[in-house]
Amino acid sequence: MSFSEVLKETVDKVDGAVSAMIIASDGIPVQEYASERLIDLTGLGAEASAMIRDIGNAAENLGLGQAREFSIISDTCGIIMRKINDDYYLALVIKPDGNYGKGRFVLKTAVPKIEGEF
84-108 pLDDT tens trace: 998 999 999 999 999 999 999 999 9
pLDDT at residue 56, rounded to an integer:
87
**Average pLDDT score over residue span 32-45:** 88
pLDDT at residue 82, rounded to an integer:
95
Count of the separate structural domains present in the chain: 1
pLDDT at residue 7, rounded to an integer:
96
Residue 1 has pLDDT above 80, yes or no: no
The CATH number for 112's domain is 3.30.450.30
**Average pLDDT score over residue span 17-28:** 92
- Cα–Cα distances (Å) from 19 to 62, 63, 93, in that order, read 32, 33, 5
Domain that holds residue 52: 3-117
Query: CB neighbours (10 Å) of residue 35?
Result: 11
